[in-house]
A and B are shown apart, each in its own frame.
Chain A
Amino acid sequence: MAEGEDERMAGFKNFQADIKVLTIHMLILIVVCLLPFIISDYLRMLAIEAILFAVFAMSLDLIMGYAGIASFGHAAYFGAGGYTLGVIIMHWTPSVWLSLLAVALVSGVLAFLVGFISIRARGIYFAILTLAFAEVLYRIVFHTYALGGSDGLIGIPVPDLNLLVAKVDLKKPLNFYYVAVVFAYLSYLICHRLTESPFGRVLRGIRENEDRIGFIGFSVRRYKIIAFVVSGIFAGWSGALFSLFKAFADTEQLHFLMSGKVIVMNLIGGLGTLVGPMFGGIFLTVFETTISSHFEAHHIITGIIFILVVIFLPKGLYGLLLNVLGGIRGVFRSR
């Protein structure tokens, strides 16, 4: 009798928590959906970029924040996604869906190969190995004439997105904005579900103590590789949409500065929170674009922010926000 009561109470509490989360999601989505109507065309373009970078940053968080493995070459998948989409749309089919499928395949296989070879190295070794692989890919693309070489793949035609009931003209920034929002939200939901699943718990266990997880009987290697591939696929998709939006795929997307930037986004946001890195991605994109129009040597400021975050805020701005919120709540409670 009492047990049933407890269960019902627990269920009710869960339900309450779900309602709370759902409300927050809805509020954010409403704000995000209304946003393009109050900002200028220029800011709308910037917002699209920021949202795509948010997903890119979140994809890295899956492995860096949850499994505790630092990839220093994540631009490889971002760029591979962009180039794959470009090649497919330019030479084979104008279907965005098929291209995204191909992107998942290419980025996923690439991540699998890199992961398969690198994952037995730990920590710094792993970081530098992933960097080396990304650099190899960058150099190969840079010197491949068929892929546009150093100019990049220019003039990717932007086809309509076929939604069965309607065709969405992606050349209109407003339409692209909503596609990006839906993409980001779905990606978040999938990644969130993944990190809260038993799979995600094993990943967190690997982050805390890799050897112990191995002793319990989990194949650390397999879990790491799967996480790496999933992360690579999401990075690939965000890169593909980025290229579709820009109508070109650039070697800059593959460059190791891009790999560094996405790590900066994660650190600024706060590792292992999914939302934090998304916030970091939006923040850094908007910040860099804004500041670069006023100040040419904006890398100095980005770099300094990075240094300050590493030294003083290892949990990122999101961690700081949570601390502050917790502090405020604590003050209210003690009254």
Chain B
Amino acid sequence: MLIDYTIYVLLPQILHGLVWGIVIALIALGLTIVFGLMDVVNFAHGEFYMLGAFLGYSLLFLVHNFWAAILIAGIAIGLAGILVEALMFRPLYGREPIFHLLLTFGMGMVLREVARVIWGGVTKRIEIPVAGTVDFLGMTYPLYRLIILGIGIIILVGIWYALTRTEAGATLRAASQDRQMSSALGINVAKVYSITFAGGVALAAIAGGLMSPIYFVYPTMGIDAILRAFIVVIVGGLGSISGALVASLLIGEVESLASLWISPTWAETLVFGVLIVTMVIRPSGLFGRRGR
């Protein structure tokens, strides 16, 4: 009885939570790296996730290959990110972070409405590109979700490797630690900013593309995503990469497991509870370095 419950109910739900957690991590990582480097809280980050999903949806009609579609969508959003950073963020560097929060809030408003004008308010759904299930540990699990899990882990490991083992990663870390010093040492900080931001939003866009066959695609989907990503980033400690990872998995599991016993909408609310409790106990987040 208990074994059956574990295999048929608990285990799939834990896996669901893991997949969801990895996807949240992909979104949150861009958010937290960009904050750590540029002191910018990007409220429109969720809209890049949304645009990734929509662009992938449209590209699917052109290229007829799901993987190519979401990859092209990711690259296109990344390029758009370079423009956004250069045109809108640059005038605000040096002002308080709250101004970027406000700016990107307005940007999110515009992007949501633009998406609604282009694709309409009706929710879209993309067919699962890899049908079929896998049997393991006595249960069956959809193959596509496992593929997302695999891709997510590969991307995350790749980012970890790039940040800690390559020269580009060292440059980024240097720039985020001391902007002036890095600049004095000959690092082109403006270029680092622009590439990092582009990478962050491209990641969000790819996450949106990956999730589009599982969830619906609609103009306000970014709001749900960004709220979770914010929670993850704050719980993990703003600017902390490992914190964001741990918190993503935690939030993914909490939401997934809680929805076994309470309705999914209340499980979502519980996630906010996790945030509030964390903030009360540790105002700087689980892995945060300083209390502000």
Q: Which residues from chain A sit less than 8 Å from chain B, CB to CB?
A: 70, 72, 117-118, 120-125, 127-129, 131-133, 135-136, 139-140, 142-143, 256-257, 260, 263-264, 267, 297, 299-300, 302-307, 310-311, 314
Contact = CB atoms under 8 A, between A and B. Distances in A.
A307 B269 contact: no
Contacts of A260: 105, 109
A123 B96 contact: yes
Interface stretch (B112-120, B185-193, B241-249, B250-258): B112-120
Contacts of B275: 129, 132
Tell me which of B97, B266, B283 has the highest count of chain A C-beta atoms within 10 A of its own C-beta: B283
Nearest to B103: A310
Nearest to B288: A125
Contacts of B92: 310-311
Interface string B249-292: 00000000000000101101100110110011001100000011
B103 A314 contact: no
B106 interface: yes
Contacts of A310: 92, 99, 102-103, 106
Contacts of B109: 257, 260, 299-300, 302-303, 306
Contacts of A132: 227, 230-231, 272, 275-276
A224 to B, nearest CB: 14
11 contacts: A121-B279, A135-B227, A136-B273, A263-B102, A263-B105, A300-B113, A300-B117, A306-B103, A306-B105, A307-B103, A311-B88
A136 B283 contact: no
Given A125-B234, A310-B99, A117 B279 contact: yes
A105 to B, nearest CB: 22
B230 A131 contact: yes
B279 A125 contact: yes
Contacts of A133: 272, 276
B238 interface: yes
A132 B265 CA distance: 15
Task: Bin chain B's interface residue count.
Answer: 35 or more
B237 to A, nearest CB: 10
Contacts of B117: 297, 300
B222 to A, nearest CB: 12
B36 to A, nearest CB: 12
A314 B96 CA distance: 11
Nearest to A72: B101
Interface of B: 41, 88, 91-92, 95-99, 101-103, 105-110, 112-114, 116-117, 223, 227, 230-231, 234, 238, 263, 265-266, 268-269, 272-273, 275-276, 279-280, 283-284, 291-292
A127 B233 CA distance: 13
A42 B263 CA distance: 43
A300 B47 CA distance: 14
Main secondary structure, interface of B, reads helix
B106 A306 contact: yes
Nearest to A260: B105
Q: Which 7 A-B pairs have the closest CB atoms?
A: A306-B106, A303-B109, A303-B110, A299-B113, A307-B106, A310-B103, A122-B292
Contacts of A121: 279, 283, 291-292
Given A142-B265, A297-B113, 4 more contacts: A117-B276, A128-B230, A139-B272, A306-B105
A217 to B, nearest CB: 22
A124 B110 contact: no
A317 to B, nearest CB: 15
Contacts of A307: 88, 103, 106-107, 110
Nearest to B227: A135
B110 A300 contact: yes
B103 A129 contact: no
Contacts of A303: 106-110, 113
A132 B230 CA distance: 9
Contacts of B114: 297, 300
A124 B105 contact: no
Nearest to B109: A303
B126 to A, nearest CB: 25
Contact of B98 (A120, A127, A131, A302): A127
Nearest to A308: B106
A304 B110 contact: yes
A314 B269 contact: no
Contacts of B266: 143
A21 B108 CA distance: 41
Contacts of B110: 299-300, 303-304, 307
B101 A124 contact: yes
A121 B292 CA distance: 6
B272 to A, nearest CB: 5
Nearest to A261: B109
Nearest to B230: A128
Contact of A129 (B88, B108, B276): B276
A154 B237 CA distance: 42
